[in-house]
Amino acid sequence: MSFQDAIKVCFQKYADFSGTAKRPEFWWWVVFCIIISAILNMVLPIIGAVFSLAVFLPSLSVGSRRLHDVGMSGWWQLIGLTGIGVLVLIYFWAQKGKG
């Protein structure tokens, strides 16, 4: 999946928490969010904050679909709230999909 296709799919499935997301779709989305956030925060932090809020829901949904692809529940994303749990999530997200 190309960078543009991944971003397009993530915006089309804005709040779709069902189904699966392959590794390229998930990681291209993460790269997109990090790059755009960094650029916007350098230019005007308030626009960066608005962008972060706008992509929060699709980020949760693609993260959930990625966890479904490795055979786990999307609720595992809550472990990220512990801080150290983000490392566990990165490990899960990096796994090869089951399907």
Q: Tell me how far apart the alpha carbons of residues 83 and 99 are, in angstroms, rounded to a whole number.
A: 29
Q: Please report the pLDDT score of residue 99 as a whole number.
A: 67
Q: What are the C-alpha distances in Å from 58 to residues 14, 27, 42, 98?
A: 5, 13, 23, 22
Cα three-residue angle 87-69-37, rounded to 5 degrees: 50
List of the chain residues with pLDDT < 50: none
Cβ neighbours of 64 (radius 10 Å) = 22
pLDDT of residue 98: 87
pLDDT tens-place string over residues 42-66: 999 999 999 999 999 999 999 999 9
Q: What pLDDT, on a 0 to 100 scale, did the predictor assign at position 89? A: 96
Side chain identity at residue 15, one-letter code: A
DSSP tag of 47: H
Task: Record the pTM.
Answer: 0.92
